[in-house]
Structure 1
């Protein structure tokens, strides 16, 4: 009887749990797609494809898996249907979203300068893919320097050469991020420690949209970014093991700057003021990404 019960429980375990191991490819070219955002629908669980487009994902029961990659249609695929390769279709590029032309880049203007010494609150990545985005409105004074030359963010990493992705979005009628300004990944490497990380996009010749735009930072749930550590429980000598995926992204504290959005489990929502926080500088304040834009002509 005991043997039959063990076999029955083992069967249930095998039925309800599966390890998906696959590779994401372009449906037209057949080339692999790196750093795809992959999440289980309505669950706080996900991963990212690595530099070779490969990924592994544990699914405790059959569910829809959501695949999101810049320049490709977002799709939902049932976990039982994922075998071998997952093919994504490219989005049709709207040429009106990006203005490409030559420019002399003699004039410069900076927006959103920040001091690293003032940064004490960070966005971190643990088990669910997310993106944090900051909105930059257009001002008439930017017309003399209409091209986005550099994006400067504050990163803090416990490992060397942590990678993250940058997505550039337009804005829809509801004020949400929508529509790509650039249809490819912008993969950035963050040094170990706390730094201002500069992303030079001058070669893309992206003109500042009159409706404003979003700069989104996308954490990558890849093995190379994993950092394992131990921490003490509060008021105790006990230690717990934990992991996160580097780097961390610094934020500033603001009473009025409610320009930050988060894409969590595939949905965009506006971030609210921080409550119940021990950091006095940030309590009851907004925490937009510490981010500076350098414009040129």
Structure 2
């Protein structure tokens, strides 16, 4: 009931503050663009390119930085906002795109299993300010295509005392995630490998991991390997539409108001079973911020690092073709 009232309150305040982002050439909506407030916080447009902004909701925000894959970024004063904003396409060159591949080639399928764990204390708490990327090397000189990605999910028991029982009732959630694939740029995520918008909705019914089928995207692994990333967009309704709820909490202190990013479910289990440190993080709402390896000494304060849990254990399935 409290959640419903909060959503209703925000929706009523936003009736005259709905903004839509559209492609300047096609006038199609620009889905899931990042709308940064320039202070480490922000929101996302939904699949229809819509987001909500009012001075009542965000009284201290004077400008917005809007970015989306394949488009020129915008920096706008909140005084200049209109109910429709055009975004100009930007044709950046994709790295090492393989085209003209025959579908009848023989291949061997290889699978790297995801690392699963439902231990609350071994999990990353997702916030929309952070994007997590995991590196995978190319282990063959033959063509390799990614067909599936397995994202581990930690399920929480409704009853804390029964959390170690596999048959316990799980807390419900409906959360939208966005996925990106990047080339390897000197050991860090580089250019995107596809401009396709890749999102999925996870619920407790998916079990311990979400199996994302990317076979039709024809993502071939570059010679230096690739990164696959995950970022949470927010909670959804039963139809998978993003809810217009605030993405951070405001806590008043003696020195002023402190903004703390909202944690979303499901939690993401980290592991110590991977030998190399292959996980990288960036804060997407800080302009110009770069990727940082998730390890001690890189500015992270995390109990995961204290426990030696350096990696988010994503799994993948790869087709290795027998002919080149």
| Superposition TM-score, scaled by structure 2 size | 0.69
Is residue 48–residue 129 contact of structure 1 (8 Å, CA) maintained in 2? no
Q: Which has the higher strand share?
A: 1
Specify the SS of the correspondent of 2:267: strand
Specify the SS of the correspondent of 2:292: strand
Q: Deviations over 1:226-248 (max 9, x none)?
A: 699xxxxxxxxxxxxx9643433
CA shift, 1:143, in A, is 3.3
- 1:154 paired with 2:177, answer no
Tell me what 2:208 maps to: 195
Q: Partners of 2:235 and 2:44 in 1: how far apart?
A: 6
Q: Partners of 1:89 and 1:276 in 2: how far apart?
A: 39
Q: Partners of 1:114 and 1:80 in 2: how far apart?
A: 48
> Cα gap change, 1:287/1:95 in structure 2, threshold over 3 Å: closer, same or farther?
closer
Tell me what 2:164 maps to: none
Is residue 134–residue 214 contact of structure 1 (8 Å, CA) maintained in 2? yes
> Cα gap change, 1:67/1:275 in structure 2, threshold over 3 Å: closer, same or farther?
closer
Q: Partners of 1:118 and 1:25 in 2: how far apart?
A: 42
Specify the SS of the correspondent of 2:312: coil
- 1:172 paired with 2:166, answer no
| Superposition TM-score, scaled by structure 1 size | 0.74
> Cα gap change, 1:31/1:38 in structure 2, threshold over 3 Å: closer, same or farther?
same
Q: Partners of 2:68 and 2:89 in 1: how far apart?
A: 9
Residue in structure 2 matching 1:213, options 226, 229, 233? 226
- 1:163 paired with 2:176, answer yes
Tell me what 1:137 maps to: 137
Could you tell me which runs of 5 or more consecutive residues in structure 1 were left unpaired when the two chains were aligned.
Answer: 1-18, 229-241
Q: Partners of 1:207 and 1:46 in 2: how far apart?
A: 33
CA shift, 1:186, in A, is 0.8
Could you tell me which runs of 5 or more consecutive residues in structure 2 were left unpaired when the two chains were aligned.
Answer: 1-15, 156-170, 247-260
Specify the SS of the correspondent of 1:143: coil
CA shift, 1:284, in A, is 4.4
Q: Partners of 2:130 and 2:115 in 1: how far apart?
A: 24
- 1:257 paired with 2:276, answer yes
Q: Partners of 1:259 and 1:119 in 2: how far apart?
A: 22
Q: Partners of 1:93 and 1:243 in 2: how far apart?
A: 33
Tell me what 2:122 maps to: 121
Q: Deviations over 1:61-107 (max 9, x none)?
A: 35332222233233322222221122222231525532131243641
Tell me what 1:292 maps to: 315
> Cα gap change, 1:295/1:46 in structure 2, threshold over 3 Å: closer, same or farther?
same
Aligned ranges for residues 274-289 of structure 1 at < 5 Å? Answer: 277=303, 283-289=306-312
Specify the SS of the correspondent of 2:209: strand
Aligned ranges for residues 1-297 of structure 1 at < 5 Å? Answer: 21-41=18-38, 43-57=39-53, 58-94=57-93, 96-100=95-99, 101-103=101-103, 104=105, 106-111=107-112, 113-116=114-117, 120-126=121-127, 128-139=128-139, 142-144=140-142, 146-156=144-154, 158-173=171-186, 175-192=187-204, 194-221=207-234, 224=237, 244-253=263-272, 256-264=275-283, 265-266=285-286, 267=289, 268-273=291-296, 277=303, 283-296=306-319, 297=321
CA shift, 1:205, in A, is 1.7
CA shift, 1:164, in A, is 0.8
Q: Partners of 2:35 and 2:131 in 1: how far apart?
A: 12
RMSD: 3.1
Q: Partners of 1:291 and 1:132 in 2: how far apart?
A: 11
CA shift, 1:167, in A, is 0.6
